[in-house]
């Protein structure tokens, strides 16, 4: 366990930009929710979009809405309508356009650039300064905006890096899992959604509310710039992991996000059918995630 992890284990409150945070207090203050109600998620459909150009009236059709933490439509109408609004936060890498990029870069804890997303660099999650920034800066910023939860992305990276170079990146996977548990310890009322990160899922599934299976059935080929089906063995492996997590932790919601051409309604319908048959809650979009796409039942 890192020095920061040991130091914060017994902490019950700390100051964040002038607001005292004691467990889930900040969430309760913002939304008037009781401790037991704070993590309640509507049973209806969910969606994900990363742009501020989407009309709020379109988003109101969904119970759970995942938005970018910086570029998003007004949150207040969604909150007042009782929607679960979750903000994106990259845990395993930092995009160049994020306000904290230069500060993290200066600390020397950023690693190589992501070849698929050239404006984003991997981060060394083992460094206690990164944990401190996530806990004391990044999450409070989301809560102050009105988000009820976080969608943790890029947590696949630590395990991927450790597989590539076990010696250089030793402990990355364990550090990723520890960071998730640290977030829950400090924010017991926060809705936590985790994208993939299957290697650490068994270690953290009791501490999160939603796991997102991204590109389980269909994906985007960056080299060929086209949509494609995931290899059957990879698809079945992911389904097995997600279903096992749900069996071990029945309260865990399992969302899936697959990418497909909006022109192929037959293909989209097949994705929804397959994922629902698996017991998952699906959504299909394009790789840019800049539009809201209807579910098959809405086409009629």
pLDDT per residue over 116-131, tens digit each?
Answer: 788 999 999 999 999 9
Task: Say if residue 41 is in the same domain as residue 133.
Answer: yes
pLDDT score at 117: 82
Residue-range definition of the domain harbouring residue 119: 3-204
pLDDT score at 116: 79
Torsion, Cα of 240, 242, 244, 250 (10° steps) = -150
Task: Say if residue 152 is in the same domain as residue 200.
Answer: yes
* CA gap 25, 35 in Å, rounded: 9
Residue that terminates a domain, selected from 204, 233, 258: 204
Q: For residue 224, give every residue at least 6 positions away whose Cβ sits within 8 Å of its Cβ, in sequence order, or none.
A: none
In the chain, the N- to C-terminal Cα span, in Å, equals: 54
* CA gap 280, 226 in Å, rounded: 25
What is the pLDDT averaged over residues 271-278? 98
Q: Is the pLDDT of residue 28 over 50?
A: no
Residue 210: inside a domain, yes or no?
no
Whether the Cβ atoms of residue 19 and residue 141 lie closer than 8 Å to each other? no
pLDDT score at 37: 67
47's enclosing H/E stretch is: strand 46-49
Share of the chain above pLDDT 70, in %: 88
Q: Is the pLDDT of residue 225 over 50?
A: yes
Whether the Cβ atoms of residue 298 and residue 272 lie closer than 8 Å to each other? no
Query: Radius of gyration of the chain from Cα atoms?
Result: 19
Residue that terminates a domain, selected from 149, 178, 204: 204
Q: Which band of pLDDT confidence, cut at 50, 70 and 90, is reported for residue 13? A: very low
Task: Say if residue 200 is in the same domain as residue 235.
Answer: no
pLDDT score at 139: 98
pLDDT tens sequence across 151-183: 999 999 999 999 999 999 999 999 999 999 999
pLDDT tens sequence across 191-206: 999 999 999 999 999 9
- Structural tokens at position 52: 């501020």
* CA gap 205, 63 in Å, rounded: 22
- Structural tokens at position 100: 């904290």
Q: Which band of pLDDT confidence, cut at 50, 70 and 90, is reported for residue 17? A: very low
| 283 vs 34, higher pLDDT | 283
Task: Say if residue 29 is in the same domain as residue 173.
Answer: yes
Please give the tally of structural domains in the chain.
2
CA atoms within 13 A on the CB side of 23: 9
Residue 240: inside a domain, yes or no?
yes
Q: Is the pLDDT of residue 280 over 70?
A: yes
Residue that terminates a domain, selected from 141, 176, 204: 204
pLDDT score at 251: 95
Q: Is the pLDDT of residue 40 over 90?
A: no
| 37 vs 60, higher pLDDT | 60
The per-residue pLDDT of the chain, averaged, comes to: 89
Task: Say if residue 8 is in the same domain as residue 101.
Answer: yes
**What CATH number is attached to the domain comprising 26?**
3.20.20.70
| 81 vs 32, higher pLDDT | 81
Task: Say if residue 170 is in the same domain as residue 245.
Answer: no
Neighbour tally for 116: CB within 10 Å? 9
Q: Which band of pLDDT confidence, cut at 50, 70 and 90, is reported for residue 18? A: very low
Residue 255: inside a domain, yes or no?
yes
Residue 209: inside a domain, yes or no?
no
pLDDT score at 2: 31
Task: Say if residue 157 is in the same domain as residue 17.
Answer: yes
Residue 57: inside a domain, yes or no?
yes
Closest-CA residue to 190 (of 38, 300, 76): 38
Task: Say if residue 173 is in the same domain as residue 243.
Answer: no
pLDDT score at 27: 43
pLDDT score at 7: 28
Task: Say if residue 141 is in the same domain as residue 116.
Answer: yes
Task: Say if residue 148 is in the same domain as residue 219.
Answer: no
Residue corresponding to tokens 């989209």: 268
Task: Say if residue 9 is in the same domain as residue 115.
Answer: yes
Task: Say if residue 52 is in the same domain as residue 180.
Answer: yes
pLDDT score at 118: 83
| Helix-then-strand count for the chain, H and E | 12, 15
Q: Model-level pTM greater than 0.85?
A: yes
């Amino acid at each position: 366990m890192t020095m920061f992890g040991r130091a914060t284990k017994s902490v019950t409150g700390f100051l964040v930009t002038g607001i005292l945070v004691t467990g889930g207090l900040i969430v309760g203050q913002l939304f008037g929710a009781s401790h037991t109600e704070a993590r309640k998620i509507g049973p209806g459909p969910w969606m994900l979009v990363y742009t501020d150009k989407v009309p709020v009236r379109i988003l109101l059709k969904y119970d759970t809405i995942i938005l970018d933490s910086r570029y998003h439509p007004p949150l207040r109408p969604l909150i007042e309508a009782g929607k679960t609004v979750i903000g994106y936060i990259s845990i395993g890498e930092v995009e160049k356009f994020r306000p904290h990029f230069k500060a993290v870069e200066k600390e020397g804890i950023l690693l190589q650039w992501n070849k698929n997303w050239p404006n984003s660099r991997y981060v060394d999650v083992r460094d206690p300064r990164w944990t401190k920034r996530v806990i004391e800066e990044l999450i409070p910023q989301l809560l102050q905006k009105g988000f009820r939860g976080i969608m943790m992305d890029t947590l696949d990276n630590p395990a991927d890096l450790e597989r590539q170079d076990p010696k250089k990146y030793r402990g990355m996977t364990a550090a990723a899992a520890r960071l998730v548990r640290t977030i829950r310890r400090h924010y017991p009322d926060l809705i936590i959604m985790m994208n993939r990160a299957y290697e650490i899922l068994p270690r953290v599934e009791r501490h999160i509310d939603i796991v997102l299976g991204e590109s389980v059935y269909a994906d985007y080929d960056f080299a060929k710039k086209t949509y494609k089906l995931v290899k059957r063995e990879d698809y079945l492996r992911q389904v097995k992991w997600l279903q096992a997590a749900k069996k071990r932790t029945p309260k865990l919601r399992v969302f899936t996000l697959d990418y497909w051409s909006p022109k192929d309604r037959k293909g989209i319908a097949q994705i929804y059918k397959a994922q629902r048959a698996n017991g998952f809650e699906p959504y299909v979009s394009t790789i840019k995630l800049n539009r809201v796409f209807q579910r098959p039942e809405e086409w009629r």
